[in-house]
A and B are shown apart, each in its own frame.
Chain A
Amino acid sequence: MDLQTTIYLGVGASFALYIGIAIWARAGSTSEFYAAGGSVPPVINGMATAADWMSAASFISMAGLIANMGYGGGLFLMGWTGGYVLLAMLLAPYLRKFGKFTVPQFIGDRYYSKTASLVAVLCLLTASLTYIIGQMTGVGVAFSRFLGVSSATGIYVGQGIVFLYAVFGGMKGITYTQVAQYLVLIAAYIIPAIFISLQLTGNPIPQLGLGSNLVGHDVSLLATLDKVVTDLGFGKYTTSLPGSTLNMFVYTLSLMIGTAGLPHVIMRFFTVPTVKDARSSAGWALVFIALLYTTAPAVAAMAKTNLIRTITPGVVMQGSDPYAADSQIKFDERPDWMKRWEKTGLLKFADKNGDGRIQFYNDKSKNPEFVKKAEAAGWKGNELEVNADIIVLANPEIALLPNWVIALVAAGGLAAALSTAAGLLMAISSSVSHDLIKGIFVPDISEKNELLAGKISMAVAIVVAGYLGLNPPGFAAGTVALAFGIAASSLFPAIMMGIFSKKMNKEGAIAGMLSGLFVTLFYVFAHKGIFFIKGTEYLPTIGGANAFFGITPEAFGAVGALVNFIVAFLVDKVTAEPPEHIQHMVESVRTPRGSKLVNGAH
């Protein structure tokens, strides 16, 4: 069977499975629609959370970025897992005890104010929409290659499918669909990694393979990679750090706080039966996430090794001279996978020195020794551009794995993007229909109309995200990182202070959320354009790119969170204490006894 048919079959079968599950588990009531009736066991919930959590950014984009960044890529690995420790200890059990459907509902009740709830809805919508743009970018990349259509058409197809099962299934349907999606995506990630690890190191476990010697050598894979990439003018793989140590520090922290502040993740902890389950469920989620996250660095380093082996055969395994005239392959003899990816426009070759061979190296290197060698070899600039978002999808092709593995990876990438998009749409839909319409504007809305409003807001969100996804502000993982910054700077501090400070009042919380959100958006929009619309950047206003101590916009969330805490604290000091019954409520949220199933009624 040819590759294209195998891919259609694999992707088609996985979609049929998801839609089948969504129909089987469709929601009957609002409680089932938003919180799956509070009946999901912790291990299953952990698996669904993992699928919800691991998006196109984790699956498609992250390993490619790590391959480019080397050691510095660890910020994604630590940032996107370490946040679960915060979530398990600081938020999940208490929000479960509180027992409502949504984050804005908690903020509204705790800060005894509809304005606070409205501000929380605003923060939630901004973060979730930015996040979905990243997913749509990933869906576009996956479909454009695997269905042989343009990236734009890929996005339209993805929109339709997400809409179908998010709207019909609700939270209960989504939860069980996500369990299936987790299984598909983790198999799709790990199976090729095992093959590749075996090929390169003889060790089938990628996590150990990355720390092993190359087949037939007594030098470790990482040491060889360090040498080879340094020869090509890149930074040493195991220590290279794009940007400063401060930026890595702040970036990691932003992703961690953002994890704990993202509403679609927090919502998952409303679906477990007890407070105790909420704590362990976060641990289970991280176990399932770690399976992919500890494999990713192996995928990254091995993909980089294989890419260099493809372009300069002999350099990695036989230690031949990378500068020799015949060490690079001829463009006409390039492997088929390169031809396939060239069609998507995500892999480009330009023969700058006209020798018909591919030179792949860092032409921005400042190392004088390397520059001299490159000049002596007659290199006139890097000739191969590989988009970071294609590394994982192209990985099995680069390693020449069988067709069914390539089809599996296609299905896995789509599962990752679609499951997260569905979870985000749930968060958006519940905050619009439940918090905005029922909570503020039309309190006596019927249950049926509330569900209808939720479904309409999902449809609107899909259209907006798809539109912005056509012109994404960066790689899938970078865009998603922005969403984390927004969640970190606005929602996390307000929720945390709501639990850990009895005296925090509504004025403090509202001022904190607004200033955290505003500062972060101001810095992000300066770099990426107002609401990510190209051409509206205003970098000179803030004094150039990364003007604030060299911190990139993706890493700015931690600074925004700090602003949020400080403003909230100062405003709280000069305004009235919260009423007595609120302080009692905070006390009761702190103890597990008396938790009941989540209930949407006010």
Chain B
Amino acid sequence: MNDKIMDEKSKAYWSATLGLLTKIMLAWTFVTFGCGILLADILNTIHLGGYPLGFWFAQQGAIYIYIALIFIYAKKMGDIDIKFDVHE
């Protein structure tokens, strides 16, 4: 395999990585700074059991979503590794 093909392959791998990263970061930002802080007052008009929703996001929900985000990232990243044949 010559250097040029290698180079293009690693570029494509890196841009796939960055694409996934951007999506996860957007979700992360929206949950934390959107639902948990800036939109909290609006969300508080909705109730989840005894929880006002904005309060729930800031003190419960955001944490559950972070866990989901990391495992989604780890899974998708594993798929990308295999697709570009760079896995261990």
The residues of A with any CB-CB pair to B shorter than 8 Å are 66, 71, 73-75, 77-78, 81-82, 84-86, 88-90, 93, 207-208, 210-213, 220-223, 238-239, 245, 248-249, 252-253, 256, 274-276, 279-280, 282-283, 286-287, 290, 293-294, 297, 587, 590-595
Contact = CB atoms under 8 A, between A and B. Distances in A.
A239 B81 contact: no
Contacts of A212: 49-50
Question: 10 closest pairs, A vs B, by CB?
Answer: A220-B50, A74-B58, A283-B70, A211-B49, A297-B59, A279-B74, A211-B51, A211-B50, A591-B86, A238-B55
Contacts of B71: 280, 283
A220 B28 contact: no
B52 to A, nearest CB: 5
A593 B87 contact: yes
Interface string B52-88: 1011101110111011011101100110010000111
Given A85-B24, A590-B17, A290 B55 contact: no
Nearest to A249: B37
Contact of B13 (A82, A248, A256, A591): A591
B88 A274 contact: yes
Instruction: Sort chain B's interface into a size bin.
Output: 35 or more
Contacts of A274: 88
A245 B37 contact: yes
Contacts of A286: 63, 66-67, 70
B66 A223 contact: no
A143 to B, nearest CB: 30
Contacts, number: 142
Nearest to A273: B88
Interface string B12-38: 011001000100110010001100111
B60 A294 contact: yes
Contact of B74 (A73, A88, A222, A591): A88
Contacts of A276: 74, 78, 81, 87-88
Contacts of B25: 89
B76 to A, nearest CB: 10
Contact of A82 (B44, B49, B60, B62): B62
A270 to B, nearest CB: 16
Given A238-B55, A286-B66, A595-B88, A210 B37 contact: no
Given A85-B28, A590-B17, A591-B86, A290 B48 contact: no
B36 A74 contact: yes
Nearest to B20: A89
Contacts of B48: 211
A71 B55 contact: yes
Nearest to B41: A239
Nearest to B62: A78
Contact of A221 (B37, B50, B58): B50
B59 A591 contact: no
Contacts of B28: 82, 85-86
A591 B10 contact: yes
B45 to A, nearest CB: 11
Contacts of A210: 50-51, 60
